[in-house]
Structure 1
Amino acid sequence: MGNKLRKVFLGLFTMAATVLQAQKNDLGAWYMYFGNNKISKKLNFHNEIQYRNFDAIGDLEQLLIRTGIGYDLTENNNNVLVGYGFILSRPYVNGEKTENTEHRIFQQYITKQKFGRFNIQHRYRLEERFLEDDFRMRFRYYVNLNIPINNKEMVPKTLYASVYNEIFLHLDSPVFDRNRVYGALGYVINKNMRIEAGYMNQIQENKNRGQIQIGFYNNIPFTKD
Protein backbone atom coordinates (compact mmCIF):
# COMPACT_ATOMS: atom_id res chain seq x y z
CA MET A 1 0.00 0.00 0.00
CA GLY A 2 2.89 2.37 0.82
CA ASN A 3 4.41 2.05 -2.66
CA LYS A 4 1.01 2.58 -4.28
CA LEU A 5 0.46 5.78 -2.31
CA ARG A 6 3.88 7.09 -3.26
CA LYS A 7 3.09 6.42 -6.93
CA VAL A 8 -0.26 8.20 -6.61
CA PHE A 9 1.32 11.24 -5.03
CA LEU A 10 4.21 11.29 -7.52
CA GLY A 11 1.61 11.20 -10.28
CA LEU A 12 -0.18 14.15 -8.68
CA PHE A 13 2.99 16.24 -8.72
CA THR A 14 3.73 15.23 -12.31
CA MET A 15 0.22 16.23 -13.33
CA ALA A 16 0.57 19.59 -11.59
CA ALA A 17 3.86 20.27 -13.35
CA THR A 18 2.37 19.30 -16.71
CA VAL A 19 -0.62 21.60 -16.25
CA LEU A 20 1.65 24.48 -15.31
CA GLN A 21 3.84 23.92 -18.33
CA ALA A 22 0.86 23.74 -20.67
CA GLN A 23 -1.03 26.70 -19.21
CA LYS A 24 1.67 28.86 -17.67
CA ASN A 25 -0.02 32.03 -18.97
CA ASP A 26 -3.23 31.19 -17.09
CA LEU A 27 -1.93 29.52 -13.93
CA GLY A 28 0.45 30.58 -11.21
CA ALA A 29 2.27 28.37 -8.71
CA TRP A 30 2.71 28.75 -4.97
CA TYR A 31 5.41 26.76 -3.15
CA MET A 32 4.78 26.86 0.59
CA TYR A 33 6.41 25.75 3.84
CA PHE A 34 4.46 25.82 7.12
CA GLY A 35 6.02 25.15 10.51
CA ASN A 36 4.05 24.87 13.74
CA ASN A 37 6.46 23.73 16.43
CA LYS A 38 5.75 23.21 20.11
CA ILE A 39 7.99 25.24 22.45
CA SER A 40 6.30 23.95 25.60
CA LYS A 41 3.06 22.16 26.47
CA LYS A 42 1.05 25.34 25.77
CA LEU A 43 3.29 27.51 23.55
CA ASN A 44 4.00 27.06 19.83
CA PHE A 45 6.25 28.76 17.29
CA HIS A 46 4.65 29.45 13.91
CA ASN A 47 6.91 29.95 10.87
CA GLU A 48 6.15 29.93 7.16
CA ILE A 49 7.60 30.86 3.79
CA GLN A 50 5.53 31.17 0.61
CA TYR A 51 7.17 31.60 -2.78
CA ARG A 52 4.45 32.67 -5.23
CA ASN A 53 4.97 32.85 -8.99
CA PHE A 54 3.02 34.16 -11.96
CA ASP A 55 4.11 31.00 -13.82
CA ALA A 56 5.60 27.63 -12.82
CA ILE A 57 8.82 29.17 -11.50
CA GLY A 58 11.03 32.17 -12.15
CA ASP A 59 8.53 35.04 -12.48
CA LEU A 60 8.13 36.03 -8.82
CA GLU A 61 4.75 37.43 -7.87
CA GLN A 62 5.21 37.53 -4.10
CA LEU A 63 7.53 36.32 -1.36
CA LEU A 64 5.82 36.01 2.02
CA ILE A 65 7.58 35.29 5.33
CA ARG A 66 5.44 34.98 8.44
CA THR A 67 6.19 34.06 12.06
CA GLY A 68 4.47 34.20 15.43
CA ILE A 69 4.05 32.84 18.95
CA GLY A 70 0.85 31.02 19.93
CA TYR A 71 -0.75 29.72 23.12
CA ASP A 72 -3.20 26.81 23.48
CA LEU A 73 -6.18 27.74 25.65
CA THR A 74 -7.05 24.02 25.91
CA GLU A 75 -4.94 20.92 25.32
CA ASN A 76 -3.69 21.04 21.70
CA ASN A 77 -6.62 23.23 20.63
CA ASN A 78 -8.11 26.74 20.73
CA ASN A 79 -4.86 28.48 19.87
CA VAL A 80 -4.40 32.27 20.07
CA LEU A 81 -1.40 33.71 18.25
CA VAL A 82 0.31 37.04 17.62
CA GLY A 83 2.64 37.33 14.65
CA TYR A 84 4.51 39.38 12.07
CA GLY A 85 4.71 39.07 8.32
CA PHE A 86 7.03 40.51 5.66
CA ILE A 87 5.72 40.57 2.11
CA LEU A 88 7.72 41.41 -1.01
CA SER A 89 5.48 41.85 -4.07
CA ARG A 90 6.49 42.24 -7.71
CA PRO A 91 3.27 42.92 -9.64
CA TYR A 92 2.94 44.06 -13.23
CA VAL A 93 1.62 47.62 -13.66
CA ASN A 94 0.77 48.63 -17.23
CA GLY A 95 2.94 45.78 -18.46
CA GLU A 96 5.96 46.83 -16.40
CA LYS A 97 7.36 44.85 -13.47
CA THR A 98 7.25 46.82 -10.20
CA GLU A 99 8.27 46.11 -6.61
CA ASN A 100 6.83 47.01 -3.21
CA THR A 101 7.05 45.77 0.36
CA GLU A 102 4.58 45.36 3.20
CA HIS A 103 5.01 44.83 6.94
CA ARG A 104 2.12 43.12 8.65
CA ILE A 105 1.13 42.45 12.26
CA PHE A 106 -1.61 39.91 12.84
CA GLN A 107 -3.64 38.27 15.60
CA GLN A 108 -5.49 35.01 15.11
CA TYR A 109 -7.56 32.34 16.80
CA ILE A 110 -7.69 28.72 15.59
CA THR A 111 -10.10 26.09 16.79
CA LYS A 112 -10.31 22.46 15.63
CA GLN A 113 -13.19 20.00 15.55
CA LYS A 114 -13.48 16.33 14.64
CA PHE A 115 -16.60 14.48 13.46
CA GLY A 116 -15.80 10.88 12.52
CA ARG A 117 -13.32 11.10 9.63
CA PHE A 118 -13.91 14.82 9.18
CA ASN A 119 -11.17 17.08 10.61
CA ILE A 120 -12.32 20.71 10.60
CA GLN A 121 -10.28 23.81 11.38
CA HIS A 122 -11.56 27.38 11.73
CA ARG A 123 -9.16 30.35 11.68
CA TYR A 124 -10.11 33.95 12.47
CA ARG A 125 -7.36 36.47 11.68
CA LEU A 126 -7.08 40.25 12.06
CA GLU A 127 -4.28 42.00 10.15
CA GLU A 128 -2.72 45.45 10.48
CA ARG A 129 -1.07 46.12 7.12
CA PHE A 130 1.70 48.71 6.83
CA LEU A 131 1.97 49.35 3.09
CA GLU A 132 4.52 51.67 1.52
CA ASP A 133 2.00 54.50 1.10
CA ASP A 134 -1.01 53.34 3.11
CA PHE A 135 -2.28 51.57 6.23
CA ARG A 136 -5.16 49.10 6.11
CA MET A 137 -6.82 46.61 8.44
CA ARG A 138 -8.30 43.35 7.22
CA PHE A 139 -10.27 40.43 8.66
CA ARG A 140 -9.92 36.89 7.30
CA TYR A 141 -12.03 33.80 7.98
CA TYR A 142 -10.67 30.42 6.90
CA VAL A 143 -12.36 27.02 7.19
CA ASN A 144 -10.51 23.83 6.24
CA LEU A 145 -11.64 20.21 5.99
CA ASN A 146 -9.28 17.21 5.86
CA ILE A 147 -10.69 13.72 5.19
CA PRO A 148 -8.44 10.62 5.38
CA ILE A 149 -8.99 8.22 2.49
CA ASN A 150 -7.15 4.94 3.13
CA ASN A 151 -7.26 5.10 6.94
CA LYS A 152 -9.84 6.23 9.45
CA GLU A 153 -7.45 8.70 11.09
CA MET A 154 -4.71 11.09 9.92
CA VAL A 155 -1.98 8.63 10.83
CA PRO A 156 1.36 8.09 9.01
CA LYS A 157 1.07 6.80 5.41
CA THR A 158 -2.43 8.21 5.05
CA LEU A 159 -3.65 9.72 1.79
CA TYR A 160 -6.24 12.44 2.43
CA ALA A 161 -8.41 14.99 0.67
CA SER A 162 -8.26 18.64 1.71
CA VAL A 163 -10.55 21.57 0.90
CA TYR A 164 -10.76 25.10 2.24
CA ASN A 165 -12.45 28.43 1.72
CA GLU A 166 -11.08 31.77 2.93
CA ILE A 167 -12.72 35.17 2.70
CA PHE A 168 -10.88 38.50 3.14
CA LEU A 169 -12.76 41.61 4.31
CA HIS A 170 -11.45 45.16 4.71
CA LEU A 171 -12.48 47.12 7.79
CA ASP A 172 -13.10 50.12 5.51
CA SER A 173 -14.45 50.54 1.99
CA PRO A 174 -14.52 48.50 -0.20
CA VAL A 175 -15.32 45.80 2.35
CA PHE A 176 -14.78 42.75 0.12
CA ASP A 177 -11.14 42.08 -0.75
CA ARG A 178 -10.94 38.52 -2.09
CA ASN A 179 -12.06 34.90 -1.69
CA ARG A 180 -10.06 31.70 -2.09
CA VAL A 181 -11.39 28.19 -2.76
CA TYR A 182 -8.97 25.24 -2.62
CA GLY A 183 -8.95 21.48 -3.21
CA ALA A 184 -6.01 19.09 -2.86
CA LEU A 185 -4.67 15.65 -2.11
CA GLY A 186 -2.26 15.21 0.78
CA TYR A 187 -0.04 12.52 2.26
CA VAL A 188 0.86 12.09 5.94
CA ILE A 189 4.58 11.25 5.97
CA ASN A 190 4.79 10.73 9.74
CA LYS A 191 3.13 12.13 12.86
CA ASN A 192 4.90 15.50 12.41
CA MET A 193 5.11 15.94 8.62
CA ARG A 194 2.72 15.97 5.69
CA ILE A 195 2.63 17.29 2.14
CA GLU A 196 -0.16 18.56 -0.14
CA ALA A 197 -0.60 19.40 -3.81
CA GLY A 198 -3.73 21.05 -5.15
CA TYR A 199 -5.48 23.88 -6.94
CA MET A 200 -6.72 27.21 -5.56
CA ASN A 201 -9.00 29.69 -7.32
CA GLN A 202 -8.93 33.31 -6.13
CA ILE A 203 -11.61 35.91 -6.83
CA GLN A 204 -10.30 39.48 -6.52
CA GLU A 205 -11.64 42.65 -8.16
CA ASN A 206 -14.15 40.49 -10.11
CA LYS A 207 -11.29 38.50 -11.63
CA ASN A 208 -10.57 34.78 -11.24
CA ARG A 209 -7.04 33.44 -11.17
CA GLY A 210 -5.96 29.86 -10.62
CA GLN A 211 -2.92 28.72 -8.64
CA ILE A 212 -1.29 25.34 -8.35
CA GLN A 213 -0.18 24.95 -4.72
CA ILE A 214 2.42 22.63 -3.22
CA GLY A 215 2.75 22.77 0.55
CA PHE A 216 4.96 21.07 3.14
CA TYR A 217 3.85 21.00 6.80
CA ASN A 218 6.30 20.52 9.67
CA ASN A 219 5.10 20.04 13.26
CA ILE A 220 8.30 18.69 14.83
CA PRO A 221 8.25 19.89 18.48
CA PHE A 222 11.17 21.73 20.05
CA THR A 223 10.38 20.08 23.38
CA LYS A 224 9.87 16.50 24.55
CA ASP A 225 6.85 17.46 26.68
Structure 2
Amino acid sequence: MKLYYLLPLILLTNGTAIAQSEKKIDHQSILWTRYYNQLLLSEKWSLHSEFDNRLFLKPVQENLYVIRIQGRYKINAHLETGAGFAYFSVDTQIPEINPDFNTPEYRGQQDLTWKETFGKFGINQRFQLEERFIHNANKEILLPGTIFSWRFRYRFQTEYTFWKKEKQLLKAVLSDEIMFNFGKNIIKNTFDQNRIYAAIHYGLNSNVAFELGYLNSFQRRSNGIDYFNRDIIRFSIFHKIKISKKI
Protein backbone atom coordinates (compact mmCIF):
# COMPACT_ATOMS: atom_id res chain seq x y z
CA MET A 1 0.00 0.00 0.00
CA LYS A 2 1.29 3.43 -0.91
CA LEU A 3 2.54 5.71 1.87
CA TYR A 4 -0.05 8.44 1.27
CA TYR A 5 -2.82 5.91 2.04
CA LEU A 6 -1.09 4.71 5.23
CA LEU A 7 -0.29 8.19 6.56
CA PRO A 8 -3.87 9.12 7.60
CA LEU A 9 -4.23 5.90 9.62
CA ILE A 10 -0.85 6.35 11.36
CA LEU A 11 -1.42 9.99 12.35
CA LEU A 12 -5.06 9.66 13.38
CA THR A 13 -4.47 6.50 15.42
CA ASN A 14 -1.64 8.27 17.24
CA GLY A 15 -3.85 11.29 17.95
CA THR A 16 -6.67 9.15 19.30
CA ALA A 17 -4.29 7.31 21.64
CA ILE A 18 -2.96 10.61 23.01
CA ALA A 19 -6.45 12.00 23.57
CA GLN A 20 -7.66 8.91 25.42
CA SER A 21 -4.72 8.97 27.85
CA GLU A 22 -6.28 11.85 29.87
CA LYS A 23 -9.60 12.00 31.74
CA LYS A 24 -10.10 15.70 32.64
CA ILE A 25 -12.53 16.73 29.93
CA ASP A 26 -14.77 19.82 29.59
CA HIS A 27 -17.77 19.15 27.28
CA GLN A 28 -19.10 22.07 25.22
CA SER A 29 -21.72 22.67 22.50
CA ILE A 30 -20.96 25.26 19.78
CA LEU A 31 -22.53 26.59 16.56
CA TRP A 32 -20.15 27.54 13.73
CA THR A 33 -21.48 29.63 10.82
CA ARG A 34 -19.32 30.75 7.91
CA TYR A 35 -19.37 32.40 4.51
CA TYR A 36 -16.64 31.15 2.15
CA ASN A 37 -15.95 33.10 -1.03
CA GLN A 38 -13.84 31.94 -3.98
CA LEU A 39 -12.84 34.67 -6.42
CA LEU A 40 -11.70 32.79 -9.54
CA LEU A 41 -9.13 34.96 -11.29
CA SER A 42 -8.03 32.46 -13.95
CA GLU A 43 -7.83 28.71 -14.52
CA LYS A 44 -4.82 28.55 -12.20
CA TRP A 45 -5.22 31.42 -9.71
CA SER A 46 -7.95 32.23 -7.18
CA LEU A 47 -8.44 34.38 -4.09
CA HIS A 48 -10.32 32.81 -1.16
CA SER A 49 -11.86 34.70 1.76
CA GLU A 50 -13.71 33.36 4.78
CA PHE A 51 -15.84 34.89 7.55
CA ASP A 52 -16.52 32.52 10.44
CA ASN A 53 -18.45 33.10 13.68
CA ARG A 54 -18.49 30.61 16.58
CA LEU A 55 -21.12 30.71 19.32
CA PHE A 56 -21.45 28.63 22.50
CA LEU A 57 -24.95 27.17 22.95
CA LYS A 58 -24.93 26.11 26.65
CA PRO A 59 -24.96 28.85 27.84
CA VAL A 60 -25.32 31.15 24.81
CA GLN A 61 -22.07 33.10 24.59
CA GLU A 62 -19.77 34.34 21.82
CA ASN A 63 -16.69 32.12 21.39
CA LEU A 64 -14.78 33.90 18.60
CA TYR A 65 -14.89 35.16 15.03
CA VAL A 66 -12.40 34.62 12.22
CA ILE A 67 -11.46 36.47 9.03
CA ARG A 68 -9.24 34.59 6.55
CA ILE A 69 -7.84 35.46 3.14
CA GLN A 70 -5.52 33.41 0.95
CA GLY A 71 -4.22 33.16 -2.58
CA ARG A 72 -4.36 29.73 -4.23
CA TYR A 73 -2.56 28.25 -7.24
CA LYS A 74 -3.63 25.09 -9.08
CA ILE A 75 -0.45 23.20 -9.97
CA ASN A 76 -2.21 20.46 -11.95
CA ALA A 77 -5.44 18.46 -11.93
CA HIS A 78 -4.59 16.85 -8.57
CA LEU A 79 -2.36 19.29 -6.71
CA GLU A 80 -2.82 22.87 -5.50
CA THR A 81 -1.17 25.16 -2.98
CA GLY A 82 -2.08 28.28 -1.09
CA ALA A 83 -0.81 30.91 1.35
CA GLY A 84 -2.64 33.51 3.38
CA PHE A 85 -3.44 35.27 6.62
CA ALA A 86 -6.09 34.88 9.34
CA TYR A 87 -7.27 37.15 12.14
CA PHE A 88 -8.99 35.65 15.20
CA SER A 89 -10.81 37.61 17.88
CA VAL A 90 -11.35 35.29 20.86
CA ASP A 91 -14.06 36.31 23.32
CA THR A 92 -13.74 33.29 25.59
CA GLN A 93 -12.97 29.56 25.45
CA ILE A 94 -15.14 28.83 28.51
CA PRO A 95 -18.71 30.18 28.20
CA GLU A 96 -19.19 30.48 31.97
CA ILE A 97 -16.23 32.90 32.09
CA ASN A 98 -16.61 36.04 29.98
CA PRO A 99 -13.83 38.66 30.24
CA ASP A 100 -14.38 42.31 29.32
CA PHE A 101 -11.95 42.10 26.38
CA ASN A 102 -11.24 39.99 23.29
CA THR A 103 -7.87 38.32 22.68
CA PRO A 104 -6.49 38.79 19.13
CA GLU A 105 -4.53 36.14 17.24
CA TYR A 106 -2.69 36.79 13.97
CA ARG A 107 -1.94 33.72 11.90
CA GLY A 108 -0.03 33.00 8.70
CA GLN A 109 -0.85 29.79 6.84
CA GLN A 110 0.51 27.74 3.92
CA ASP A 111 -0.82 24.46 2.58
CA LEU A 112 -0.37 21.80 -0.06
CA THR A 113 -3.54 19.92 -1.06
CA TRP A 114 -3.81 16.72 -3.10
CA LYS A 115 -7.10 15.59 -4.68
CA GLU A 116 -8.13 12.43 -6.51
CA THR A 117 -11.49 11.23 -7.87
CA PHE A 118 -12.66 7.63 -8.37
CA GLY A 119 -16.10 7.80 -9.98
CA LYS A 120 -18.50 9.11 -7.32
CA PHE A 121 -15.81 9.00 -4.64
CA GLY A 122 -13.26 11.73 -3.98
CA ILE A 123 -10.19 11.87 -1.72
CA ASN A 124 -8.67 15.09 -0.44
CA GLN A 125 -5.49 15.39 1.66
CA ARG A 126 -4.27 18.72 3.03
CA PHE A 127 -0.91 19.44 4.67
CA GLN A 128 -0.96 22.84 6.36
CA LEU A 129 1.56 24.89 8.35
CA GLU A 130 0.57 27.85 10.54
CA GLU A 131 2.52 30.62 12.26
CA ARG A 132 0.51 31.79 15.29
CA PHE A 133 0.95 35.11 17.10
CA ILE A 134 -1.38 35.17 20.14
CA HIS A 135 -1.66 38.42 22.08
CA ASN A 136 -0.53 38.21 25.69
CA ALA A 137 -3.32 38.49 28.28
CA ASN A 138 -4.19 37.62 31.84
CA LYS A 139 -7.67 37.12 33.31
CA GLU A 140 -8.31 40.86 33.45
CA ILE A 141 -6.57 42.74 30.60
CA LEU A 142 -4.49 42.45 27.44
CA LEU A 143 -0.74 42.65 28.05
CA PRO A 144 2.02 43.93 25.73
CA GLY A 145 3.50 41.53 23.17
CA THR A 146 2.53 38.19 21.63
CA ILE A 147 3.39 34.50 22.08
CA PHE A 148 4.58 32.76 18.90
CA SER A 149 4.24 29.10 18.00
CA TRP A 150 3.98 26.84 14.96
CA ARG A 151 1.17 24.40 14.21
CA PHE A 152 1.07 21.54 11.70
CA ARG A 153 -2.29 20.27 10.45
CA TYR A 154 -3.05 17.15 8.42
CA ARG A 155 -6.57 16.52 7.08
CA PHE A 156 -7.82 13.43 5.27
CA GLN A 157 -11.21 13.92 3.62
CA THR A 158 -13.49 11.72 1.54
CA GLU A 159 -16.55 12.70 -0.48
CA TYR A 160 -19.35 10.71 -2.10
CA THR A 161 -21.64 12.28 -4.72
CA PHE A 162 -25.21 10.91 -4.47
CA TRP A 163 -26.37 12.70 -7.60
CA LYS A 164 -25.28 15.41 -9.97
CA LYS A 165 -27.66 17.02 -12.46
CA GLU A 166 -26.63 19.87 -14.71
CA LYS A 167 -25.24 22.46 -12.25
CA GLN A 168 -26.68 20.93 -9.06
CA LEU A 169 -25.27 18.20 -6.82
CA LEU A 170 -25.69 16.49 -3.48
CA LYS A 171 -22.75 14.84 -1.72
CA ALA A 172 -21.62 13.56 1.67
CA VAL A 173 -18.36 14.76 3.26
CA LEU A 174 -16.36 12.89 5.90
CA SER A 175 -13.00 14.06 7.25
CA ASP A 176 -10.54 13.71 10.10
CA GLU A 177 -7.89 16.31 10.92
CA ILE A 178 -5.09 16.16 13.47
CA MET A 179 -3.02 19.13 14.67
CA PHE A 180 0.33 19.45 16.47
CA ASN A 181 1.91 22.53 18.07
CA PHE A 182 5.66 23.09 18.15
CA GLY A 183 8.15 25.83 19.00
CA LYS A 184 10.08 27.06 22.03
CA ASN A 185 6.89 28.23 23.78
CA ILE A 186 5.22 24.81 23.43
CA ILE A 187 5.94 22.70 26.49
CA LYS A 188 2.93 20.65 27.54
CA ASN A 189 0.57 20.66 24.58
CA THR A 190 2.44 19.36 21.53
CA PHE A 191 -0.71 17.46 20.59
CA ASP A 192 -3.28 20.20 19.95
CA GLN A 193 -6.48 18.58 18.74
CA ASN A 194 -8.28 16.08 16.54
CA ARG A 195 -11.36 17.01 14.50
CA ILE A 196 -13.84 14.52 13.05
CA TYR A 197 -16.38 15.98 10.63
CA ALA A 198 -19.41 14.64 8.74
CA ALA A 199 -21.66 16.77 6.52
CA ILE A 200 -24.16 16.98 3.68
CA HIS A 201 -23.18 19.37 0.88
CA TYR A 202 -25.79 20.72 -1.56
CA GLY A 203 -24.76 22.64 -4.66
CA LEU A 204 -27.62 24.95 -5.63
CA ASN A 205 -25.84 25.86 -8.87
CA SER A 206 -22.27 26.21 -10.13
CA ASN A 207 -21.71 29.31 -7.97
CA VAL A 208 -23.56 28.75 -4.66
CA ALA A 209 -23.52 25.77 -2.29
CA PHE A 210 -24.65 25.01 1.27
CA GLU A 211 -23.17 22.59 3.77
CA LEU A 212 -24.52 21.38 7.12
CA GLY A 213 -22.46 19.09 9.32
CA TYR A 214 -21.38 17.86 12.72
CA LEU A 215 -17.82 18.33 13.96
CA ASN A 216 -16.27 16.81 17.08
CA SER A 217 -13.17 18.64 18.32
CA PHE A 218 -11.07 16.97 21.01
CA GLN A 219 -8.49 19.55 22.06
CA ARG A 220 -5.75 19.62 24.68
CA ARG A 221 -5.62 22.84 26.68
CA SER A 222 -2.41 24.81 27.17
CA ASN A 223 -1.80 23.38 30.67
CA GLY A 224 -1.25 19.96 29.07
CA ILE A 225 -3.64 18.28 31.50
CA ASP A 226 -7.20 19.27 30.66
CA TYR A 227 -9.16 18.81 27.43
CA PHE A 228 -12.09 20.35 25.57
CA ASN A 229 -14.51 17.89 23.97
CA ARG A 230 -16.64 20.03 21.67
CA ASP A 231 -19.83 19.03 19.84
CA ILE A 232 -20.11 21.49 16.95
CA ILE A 233 -22.88 22.11 14.43
CA ARG A 234 -21.40 23.81 11.35
CA PHE A 235 -23.35 25.62 8.63
CA SER A 236 -21.45 26.97 5.62
CA ILE A 237 -22.30 29.02 2.54
CA PHE A 238 -19.89 28.67 -0.40
CA HIS A 239 -19.89 31.34 -3.09
CA LYS A 240 -17.86 31.35 -6.30
CA ILE A 241 -17.36 34.48 -8.39
CA LYS A 242 -15.73 34.14 -11.81
CA ILE A 243 -13.71 37.13 -13.01
CA SER A 244 -12.81 35.66 -16.39
CA LYS A 245 -15.44 34.27 -18.77
CA LYS A 246 -12.92 31.66 -19.94
CA ILE A 247 -12.95 29.79 -16.59
TM-score of the alignment, normalized to the shorter chain, above 0.5: yes
Show the counterpart of 1:18: none
Change (3 A) 1:107 1:26: closer
Aligned pair partner of 2:39 in 37, 44, 50? 37
- Matching residue of 1:82: 83
Q: Is the counterpart of residue 147 in structure 1 residue 163 in structure 2?
A: no
Cα deviations across residues 63-83 of structure 1 (Å, max 9, x unaligned)?
Answer: 0000011111114x4211110
Q: Give deviations 1:165-192, integer Å, cap 9, x for gaps.
A: 1111112443210011011112111122
Q: 1:94 to 1:74 in 2, by over 3 A?
A: closer
Shift of 1:111: 1.7
SS of 2:167's equivalent in the other structure is coil
Matched with 1:176 is 191
Q: 1:207 to 1:214 in 2, by over 3 A?
A: same
CA distance in 1, matches of 2:54, 2:95: 20
Alignment coverage as a number of residue pairs: 198
Q: TM-score, normalised by structure 1?
A: 0.80
Q: Which of 241, 244, 247 in structure 2 is aligned with 1:220?
A: 241
Q: Does 2:168 match 1:157? A: yes
Does the Cα contact within 8 Å between 2:50 and 2:68 map onto a contact in 1?
yes
| Worse overlay, 30-39 or 91-100 | 91-100
Look up the equivalent residue of 2:172 and give its one-letter code: A
Instruction: Report SS of the residue matched to 1:131.
Output: strand
Letter in structure 1 aligned against 2:179:
F
Superposition CA RMSD, Å = 2.2
Counterparts of residues 58-137 of structure 1 (less than 5 Å): 59-75=61-77, 77-92=78-93, 95-98=96-99, 99-133=102-136, 134-137=147-150
Quick one: which amino acid aligns to residue 164 of structure 1? S
- Cα contact 2:63–2:95 (8 A) shared by 1: no
Q: Distance in 1 between matches of 2:58 and 2:66?
A: 17
Residue 196 of structure 1 aligns to which amino acid in structure 2? E
Which whole-Å CA distance do the structure 2 matches of 1:188 and 1:155 have between them? 11
SS, match of residue 42 in structure 2 = coil
Residues 26, 85 of structure 1: CA spacing in aligned structure 2 closer, same or farther, 3 A cutoff?
closer
Q: Residue in 2 aligned with 1:10?
A: none
Please give the per-residue CA displacement for 1:180-206, whole angstroms capped at 9, x wherever unaligned.
Answer: 101111211112221111111100123
Secondary structure of the residue that 1:224 maps to in structure 2?
Answer: coil
Counterpart in the other structure of 1:192: 207
Q: Which runs of 5+ in 2 are unaligned?
A: 1-26, 137-146, 221-226
TM-score (norm 2): 0.74
Instruction: Give the alignment of 1:192-211 within 5 angstroms.
Output: 192-205=207-220, 206-211=227-232
8 Å Cα contact 1:49/1:66 also seen in 2: yes
Q: Distance in 1 between matches of 2:34 and 2:179?
A: 20
Residue 120 to residue 91, structure 1, CA distance change in 2 (3 Å): same
CA distance in 1, matches of 2:59, 2:51: 15
Give how far 1:33 is off.
1.4
What's the % identity of the aligned pairs?
Answer: 27
Is 2:28–2:228's contact at 8 Å kept on the other side of the alignment? Answer: no
